[in-house]
Structure 1
Amino acid sequence: MAASTDTAKAVKARPRARGSLVGLAAWLAGILFFLPIAWMALTSFHSEEDAATNPPSLAASLTLDGYRDFFGTGGGASPWPSLINSTVASLSSTLLVLVLALPAAYALSIRPVKKWTDILFFFLSTKMLPVVAGLLPIYLFAKNTDFLDNIWLLVILYTSMNLPIAVWMMQSFLAEVPKAVIEAAQIDGARLPTILARVVAPIALPGIAATSLICFIFSWNELLFARVLTGVVAQTAPVFLTGFITSQGLFLAKVCAASLVISLPVLAAGFAAQDKLVQGLSLGAVK
């Protein structure tokens, strides 16, 4: 009797020990990913001399010179036009992606067309082409149509780049929407735009939020197109960041300060929508 009791306790203890190990591994992984960000933030408050020491000193004096140089108070170029351009390009392209992806995902999930899996694969296959492979024809098109250094060209490109992955993600999210709710709305006389805006969108809001955040991050971080197709007027924040790497060398403190400031919108958006992001990423999972 005692032996069976000990065996039962040992069996119950195994899942707890396994859960503790998984939790410990998750904490270690989180700290490992957070350390470079923490180190970048600390370096941004050091002077260039202290940031360039090897090994770097944790006890070095703190200063705001890196942020003054980034914001142009020390005589450099102002980052605000580039930050505004990145905001306009990212928000506009994300809004266009949602407007186009929601009806497409609705047609592929709730009202599936014939061979809808082939259509999804076609959407995803467009992401398999390396971006650099299409750079030359896009540049020639922009040059011949006077679209070079135009922020709306980036909006169109970011929309076309993010649309396939948005349709793929939202198709799985919308597949979880109860069809009975949609049928009830149709019986009440609601048309497709009303169904999408007042029925489907509120139910699939976590998935839409996750898709929006991912599209925003991809647009905000894009560098190749922005570097080649823009100059001064439509320069984005990542392109402005590369300006700190000069022939005189790499100014580490300035680069860390600029990187931290440019990363803040993405970090803030992710933190604000973290609950919906987790729900959205797990909404279409196989149960």
Structure 2
Amino acid sequence: MATTITTASRRLAGRGSATRRKRGPLGLLAWLCGMVFFLPVAWMVLTSLHSEPDAATNPPSAGAPLTFQGYREFFGVTSGVSPWPPLINSFSASVLSTLLVLVLSIPAAYALSIRPVRKWTDVMFFFLSTKMLPAVAGLLPVYLIAQNAGMLDNITLLIILYTSMNLPIAVWMMRSFLSEVPLEILEAASIDGAGLPTALSRIVAPVVAPGIAATALICFIFSWNELLFARVLTGVVSSTAPVFLTSFVTSQGLFLAKVCAAAVCVSLPVLIAGYAAQDKLVQGLSLGAVK
């Protein structure tokens, strides 16, 4: 008996070492891929800490003296142009549109997954078809509608546009998350007399909280990074952070240190949001995976 146990343990140990040997190259490959994606970001941060002459050298000098001149120019210390109005506009449009997307997509996904409507596949295809039209193709009609409605250079217009642009993606994502909710707990809640609002807020929402966080984060990123409509439909009052970022590319030339400093500052809210919700994001994106 002892000999059998010893033999089995040796076999398990051999399989474990073989598995580790197989995973070693894959782990190294994963680290290399991560470094490939991280190096441009690290170089951007390093360039933002250089002076303009050092940043413009070819090849760039990695050991040049560090300075915060680019960040001082971004925050208007030397130029007098404040970045806070565009940053606040981007934050307001992104957060409010994301909240509206969640309010609209969760009941829609509930109807398409837990309580499926008739011909729900046609409904899902309709949501998907709205993303097939290139954004630039709808730019002129949207501009004319906004002009006739007197909503040019208005943050409310951006909130409406971002909500409509992200809603199809949110419905598709939330439907996949809600499909994992056990129907038994909803049936038990209905027996106890819980209505739809109660079921959504007290039962469904806690179960799919990682999926909601993942959907919200993706919609926030898409809204924060949107440039085309914000560039055309806004002006001085409601310009967003990406539009403000393009103002650093002037006819006088491309000032790399200042542009990199501005890009780092504009990217920080998305990075902070992703870091704060990383555990929920991983759980949400892996929801429905093969266990």
Contact 1:207 1:281 in 2 (8 A): yes
Correspondence 1:224-263 to 2 at 5 A:
224-263=228-267
Cα distance, 1:14 vs structure 2: 3.7
- Corresponding residue to 1:103 among 101, 107, 110: 107
How far apart are the structure 2 equivalents of 1:113 and 1:259?
45
Task: Tell me the equivalent position of 2:154.
Answer: 150
Task: Tell me the equivalent position of 1:219.
Answer: 223
Deviations 1:223-271 (A, max 9, x none): 0000000000000000000000000000100000000000000000001
How far apart are the structure 2 equivalents of 1:186 and 1:170?
21
Cα distance, 1:76 vs structure 2: 3.5
Q: Which runs of 4+ in 1 moved over 6 A?
A: 4-10
CA distance 1:78–1:23, change in 2 (3 Å): same
Q: Out of 59-68 and 82-91, give the one that drifted further.
A: 59-68
Cα distance, 1:10 vs structure 2: 6.8
Contact 1:83 1:236 in 2 (8 A): yes
How far apart are the structure 2 equivalents of 1:22 and 1:127?
35
Equivalences, count? 284
Cα distance, 1:286 vs structure 2: 4.3
Q: Does 1:32 align with 2:36?
A: yes
Please state whether the residue corresponding to 2:238 is helix, strand or coil: coil
Correspondence 1:179-218 to 2 at 5 A:
179-218=183-222
Q: Does 1:125 align with 2:129?
A: yes
Superposition CA RMSD, Å:
1.6
Amino acid at match of 1:121: F
Amino acid at match of 2:220: F
Cα distance, 1:65 vs structure 2: 0.6
How far apart are the structure 2 equivalents of 1:9 and 1:187?
52
- Corresponding residue to 1:164 among 163, 168, 186: 168
Q: Does 1:23 align with 2:42?
A: no
Cα distance, 1:285 vs structure 2: 2.5
Please state whether the residue corresponding to 1:62 is helix, strand or coil: coil
Amino acid at match of 1:91: V
How far apart are the structure 1 equivalents of 2:202 and 2:12?
52
Amino acid at match of 1:30: G
Please state whether the residue corresponding to 2:235 is helix, strand or coil: coil
Contact 1:170 1:211 in 2 (8 A): yes
How far apart are the structure 2 equivalents of 1:13 and 1:158?
51
How far apart are the structure 2 equivalents of 1:8 and 1:239?
59
User: Structure 1 unaligned runs (5+)?
Assistant: none
- Corresponding residue to 2:91 among 79, 84, 87: 87
How far apart are the structure 1 equivalents of 2:18 and 2:173?
37
- Corresponding residue to 1:52 among 51, 56, 64: 56
Task: Tell me the equivalent position of 2:3.
Answer: none
Task: Tell me the equivalent position of 1:272.
Answer: 276
Q: Out of 5-14 and 153-162, give the one that drifted further.
A: 5-14
- Corresponding residue to 1:174 among 178, 199, 210: 178
Contact 1:149 1:231 in 2 (8 A): yes
Please state whether the residue corresponding to 1:127 is helix, strand or coil: coil
Percent of aligned pairs with the same residue?
72
CA distance 1:8–1:201, change in 2 (3 Å): closer
How far apart are the structure 2 equivalents of 1:94 and 1:75?
33
> TM (normalized to structure 2)?
0.94
Cα distance, 1:284 vs structure 2: 2.4
> TM (normalized to structure 1)?
0.95
User: Structure 2 unaligned runs (5+)?
Assistant: 1-6
Q: Out of 19-28 and 132-141, give the one that drifted further.
A: 19-28
How far apart are the structure 1 equivalents of 2:125 and 2:18?
42
Contact 1:70 1:76 in 2 (8 A): no
How far apart are the structure 1 equivalents of 2:236 and 2:168?
30
